[in-house]
Amino acid sequence: MDIITDPKAMQRHAGQVRDSGRIIGLVPTMGYLHEGHLSLIRRARELSGCVVVSIFVNPTQFGPGEDLASYPRDFANDCAISERAGVDVIFSPRETDLYPEGYQTFIQLDKLPLHLCGRSRPVHFRGVATVVAKLFNIVKPHLAVFGRKDYQQLMVIRRMVRDLDFDIRILGEPTVRESDGLAMSSRNAYLAPDQRESALSLHGSLEAARRMIQGGETSAARLIAAAVQRITAHPQASVDYIAVADPETLEDVEAVSGPVLMALAVKIGKTRLIDNMVLEP
Ligand code: AMP
């Protein structure tokens, strides 16, 4: 497995891999790898001759007061995990490699960031779209694999790829969960045992909404109210948002008549967690 930090060296390597006729599959991550990341890596492995995992805690997608400085990192363990999973290249640039002095170009989508996480994280998706576009230009992948755990991010990337004519196939993989339903996340490392218990209410409220819809409930307001009640029963939990939305536009829906995205962000203590499910009547 090669470890490359210099973007120019990565571009040269990617050019050689492409010239040799191999498919490049990219899995962008912020590191602290877990089974969720591994499922994306396995998918990329199935479809590509060269799997590149990028590890970069991207400062432009963090707002002031967010957890950029404390974001969990363990590069040596990420390398060991990646090597075992058959990754060909780890691309881990330094901050100043991607955002040198004088940097001033950003990608901003008009509508998708107005919903869900974008409301409380106004610069987040501008940072995500920008860094992913840069990774695409550096790693030159034929395909890139993302998790549906970050549903809005996946939609932003798909939209950007269509709008800017990137010749890259985007795959979205299902959310990998712990055996008790908690969606895997690097940020779960922040949770104390009692907080982890409270965090189960995210998945629990999505499952409860699924049962309500199967039982004939169509009111988004009642689905949201039930989820708020279940989550706020935990004293350390505070709801950022709970939304029932159109799975494509992410706009709020009032009545469930077809597939809907139920998405939520909840702070457990200081840790902000997200989860979502597409629910069908
Ligand atoms: P992150 O390192 O958290 O930025 O995530 C990197 C990629 O892994 C993103 O495409 C995420 O959606 C994906 N991912 C994170 N957690 C999970 C999970 N539990 N299941 C599936 N994919 C995930």
192 Cβ neighbours under 8 A, 6+ residues apart: 269
Tens-digit pLDDT profile for residues 96-126: 999 999 999 999 999 999 999 999 999 999 9
180 Cβ neighbours under 8 A, 6+ residues apart: 200
% residues pLDDT > 90 (the chain): 100
Tens-digit pLDDT profile for residues 25-71: 999 999 999 999 999 999 999 999 999 999 999 999 999 999 999 99
Beta bridge partners of 268: 237, 271
pLDDT attached to residue 104:
98
Is 152 near ligand 1, meaning CB less than 6 Å away? no
Q: Where are the alpha helices (DSSP H) in 20-62?
A: 35-47
DSSP class per residue in 224-255: HHHHHHHHHTSTTEEEEEEEEE-TTT--B-SB
What angle, 0 to 180 degrees and rounded to 10, lies between the N-to-C axes of helices 220-232 and 193-214? 160
199/239 Cα distance (integer angstroms)? 12
Ligand 1, atom 13: closest residue by C-alpha = 147
pLDDT attached to residue 233:
98
**Residue 7: in which H helix or E strand, if any?**
helix 7-19
pLDDT attached to residue 32:
98
Q: Do the Cβ atoms of 55 and 89 come closer than 8 Å?
A: no
Q: In angstroms, how far is CA 256 from the centroid of its own chain?
A: 25
Ligand 1, atom 7: closest residue by C-alpha = 29
How many angstroms separate the alpha carbon of residue 102 from the centre of ligand 1? 30
Is 186 near ligand 1, meaning CB less than 6 Å away? yes
Ligand 1, atom 5: closest residue by C-alpha = 29
Indicate which residue of 13, 37, 115, 142 is catalytic.
37
pLDDT attached to residue 98:
98
Is 39 near ligand 1, meaning CB less than 6 Å away? yes
Mutate to test the pocket of ligand 1, among 26, 27, 29 (most ligand atoms within 8 A of CB): 29
Is 53 near ligand 1, meaning CB less than 6 Å away? no
How many angstroms separate the alpha carbon of residue 165 from the centre of ligand 1? 24
Q: Based on the residue annotation, tell me whether 234 is a catalytic residue of this protein.
A: no
Is 171 near ligand 1, meaning CB less than 6 Å away? no
Tens-digit pLDDT profile for residues 147-204: 999 999 999 999 999 999 999 999 999 999 999 999 999 999 999 999 999 999 999 9
Computed over every residue of the chain, the mean pLDDT equals: 98
How many angstroms separate the alpha carbon of residue 217 from the centre of ligand 1? 31
Place of tokens 């040198």: 100
Is the torsion defined by CA of 73, 75, 77, 79 positive or negative?
A: positive
